[in-house]
Amino acid sequence: MADSVQQLKSASIFDQMKAHISSEAGKELIKKIGLVYQINIAPKKLGINEEVYTVDLKKGEVKKGPYEDGKPDATFSFTDNDFIKVVSGKMNPQMAFMRGAMKVKGSLSAAQKFTPDIFPKPSKL
């Protein structure tokens, strides 16, 4: 089975995020943050076979693909597993950055507003 066919675990988080953004809590995030994040997720190694997602907390959209209305406020790169750890609160974003598990481009003040609170809490089975 080829790696490129493998579904990223992160994909389900972005699906949940779409619903989360249209909720009341999501609308509060849009008012409070008002920034655009591009998130690059690599299956195993940063920079290789990345899938790109845009989390637009100005318009309230989450979509697969790069941001097309100019430049995102901040761009993050993660491996699939590290993204799951940061979003679920198992890894602190600052620690992820210092360890090289997360790469950041763009505005540092925008990047600091990127916290696990943006994402819906993982649903328990």
Question: CATH for 7-114, among 3.40.50.2300, 3.40.50.720, 3.30.1050.10, 3.50.30.50?
Answer: 3.30.1050.10
pLDDT of res. 63: 95
Model-level pTM?
A: 0.87
Task: Answer yes or no: is pLDDT of 123 > 60.
Answer: no
Question: How many Å is the Cα radius of gyration of the chain?
Answer: 14
Q: Dig out the tokens for 38 from the structure.
A: 């591009």
Residue 2 is classified by DSSP as -
H helices of 1-125, in order, are 10-21, 24-33, 80-87, 93-99, 108-112
Give the tens place of pLDDT for each residue, 16-32: 999 889 899 889 989 99
d(CA 58, CA 37): 10
Band of pLDDT at residue 114, cut at 50, 70 and 90: confident
d(CA 81, CA 61): 23
Q: Dig out the tokens for 40 from the structure.
A: 């690059």
Give the tens place of pLDDT for each residue, 58-69: 999 999 999 999
Sheet holding 61-64, edge to edge: 61-64, 51-56, 36-42, 74-79, 102-106
Band of pLDDT at residue 47, cut at 50, 70 and 90: confident
Asked if 109 and 74 count as a contact pair (C-beta separation under 8 A), the reply is no
